[in-house]
Amino acid sequence: MVRWFFRTLNQRSLLAEDDSYGRIPLFPMQHLKIYLDGQFVDEPDAKVSVFDHGLLYGDGVFEGIRFYNGRVFLLEEHLDRLYDSAKAILLTLPLERPALREAVLETCRQNNLRDGYIRLVVTRGKGDLGLNPNKCSKPTVFIIAATIELYPEKYYTEGLRVNTVPTQRVSPAALSPAIKSLNYLNNILAKIEGNLYGAQESIMLNQQGFVAECTADNLFVIKQDKIFTPHVSDGALGGITRRLMFDLAREMGREIKETNLTRYDLFVADELFATGTGAEVVPISEVDGRKIGSGRVGPVTEEFIRHFKVRTQNTGVPIY
Ligand code: PMP
């Protein structure tokens, strides 16, 4: 009964049910506590201005972070990327790093969660209707800790069916894909195209026709026991989970090579998998109607999944 309850609790999805808090309240009317500009407020009271440039222009940066077993996973790496993204768009965070780290941990504590997903958002703040950020005097910071299930469990054993889509990854010359900004319309359009194909995820190419990444995940290709992933300069976000794969590969006595990849390389791959904080390590079994390898989860992917799970359970910054 208790196991059923917690399984059900974990299966409630932040993304799938946008009218819920991503969990079953332990007591009726218990609201999520949201960190908002230095205060913890009940979710219905967690409001930002309609003049916030995060909303008006997607002007801001964010992180999605997981916590497992009472520990925030790869927290320092996520904070590094957040401060780098903010620096790249000339946004000065109103909190020093130790205070922000503590705010993340306290948000988990306030919600009595040991496993879940954190959304840490910093917007340019409230301004006027023009886009000039000089009119925004103070960034808005909010932190949500809830649960998430990006893909149903069966895809981790069966693999995802994905499509390459017409919407190209935005050029690094226009907007660096290394910046994890609030401006996700490029990825959302690609996601919509994948939805139209009935795919579970979409693969985006860059202007040269090389594979960049999925809409919210990085991509890995296995061919004849060798592992490849696109360069960040091909339009991939420098994923924290992507970087972890390089560590895990070393642990496994393997090597990952960054290279240009085309759709052909995907079609003839022995195995494919995607990585992301939300998705974790998820196999891909079909691309554009081509079955990948045997169409089942391959041995190298399985090895990465196994090593990844061990890391998530044994490392991280303690919350309690
Ligand atoms: N690419 C994009 C576009 C993303 O938004 C993300 C984050 N979900 C990723 C890749 C994976 O990055 P990470 O492993 O840091 O979550």
Q: Are 155 and 282 in contact (CB under 8 A)?
A: yes
| Cα 283 to Cα 161: distance, rounded to the nearest angstrom | 9
Look up residue 249 and give its two tokens: 């590969």
Whole-number pLDDT of residue 29: 61
The answer to whether 299 and 52 are in contact (CB under 8 A) is no
Split at pLDDT 50, 70, 90, the class of 135 is very high
The owner of tokens 């301004």 is 127
From CA 62, how far away is CA 179, in angstroms rounded? 9
Q: Would you kindly state where each structural domain of the chain is located, as residue ranges?
A: 2-146, 155-314
- pLDDT value of position 148: 86
Token pair, residue 248, equals 């895990």
Atom of ligand 1 at shortest distance to CA of 81?
Answer: 15
CA 217 – ligand 1 centroid, Å: 5
Q: Which residues line ligand 1 (CB under 6 A)?
A: 64, 187, 213, 216-218, 237, 239-242, 275-278
CA of 192 to the centre of ligand 1 (A): 17
* pLDDT in the model for residue 244: 98
> Is the C-alpha dihedral spanning 14, 20, 21, 24 positive or negative?
negative
- Average pLDDT of the residues in 8-31: 46
Mean pLDDT of 28-52: 94
Structure tokens at 311: 């890391």
pLDDT digits (tens, 9 = 90+) for 224-269: 999 999 999 999 999 999 999 999 999 999 999 999 999 999 999 9
**CATH 2.40.50.140 assigned to 2-146:** no
Across the chain, mean pLDDT equals: 92
What average pLDDT does range 216-228 have in this prediction?
Answer: 98
Q: CA-CA distance, 172 to 212, in Å (whole number)?
A: 11
Q: Give me ligand 1 centre to Cα 274, in Å.
A: 10
Per-residue pLDDT tens digits for 158-175 = 999 999 999 999 999 999
Of these residues, 180, 191, 226, 309, which one is catalytic?
180
Split at pLDDT 50, 70, 90, the class of 3 is very low
What does the block give as tokens for 11?
């299966």
Give dist(CA 261, CA 213) in Å, integer.
10
Report pLDDT for 106.
98
Domain 155-314 has CATH 1.10.150.170: no
Q: Is 135 a catalytic residue?
A: no
One-letter amino acid identity for 89? I
Ligand 1 centroid–CA 116 distance in Å is 17
Query: Ligand 1: which of 151, 217, 247 to mutate, judged by most atoms within 8 Å of the beta carbon?
Result: 217
Could you give the percent of the chain with pLDDT greater than 90? 88
Q: How many whole angstroms from its chain centre is CA 204?
A: 16
Hey, whose CA ends up nearest to atom 7 of ligand 1?
A: 216
pTM of the model: 0.91
pLDDT of residue 1 exceeding 60, the answer is no
**Nearest alpha carbon, ligand 1 atom 12:** 239
CA of 29 to the centre of ligand 1 (A): 33
3-class secondary structure per residue, the chain: CHHHHHHHHHHCCCCCCCCCCCCCCCCCCCCCEEEECCEEEEHHHCCCCCCEHHHHHCCEEEEEEEEECCEECCHHHHHHHHHHHHHHCCCCCCCCHHHHHHHHHHHHHHCCCCCEEEEEEEECCECCCCCCHHHCCCCEEEEEEECCCCCCCCHHHHCEEEEECCCCCCCCCCCCCCCCECCCHHHHHHHHHHHHHCCCEEEEECCCCCEEEECCCEEEEEECCEEEECCHHHCCCCCHHHHHHHHHHHHCCCCEEECCCCHHHHHCCCEEEEEECCCEEEEEEEECCEECCCCCCCHHHHHHHHHHHHHHHHCCEECC
Read off the pLDDT of each residue in 176-183 and give the average, rounded to a whole number: 95
Tracing tokens 């594979």 back to the chain, one arrives at: 211
Q: How confident is the model at residue 27 (pLDDT cuts 50, 70, 90)?
A: low
Q: What's the confidence (pLDDT) of residue 141? A: 98
Ligand 1 centre from 276 Cα, in Å?
5
Q: How confident is the model at residue 25 (pLDDT cuts 50, 70, 90)?
A: very low
Q: Which two three-digit tokens encode residue 113? A: 């969660």
pLDDT tens sequence across 107-119: 999 999 999 999 9
- Mean pLDDT is lowest, of 14-28, 38-52, 53-67, 141-155, for 14-28
Q: How confident is the model at residue 6 (pLDDT cuts 50, 70, 90)?
A: very low
Q: Tens digits of per-residue pLDDT, 286-307?
A: 999 999 999 899 999 999 999 9
| Tokens of residue 73, six digits | 């996973």
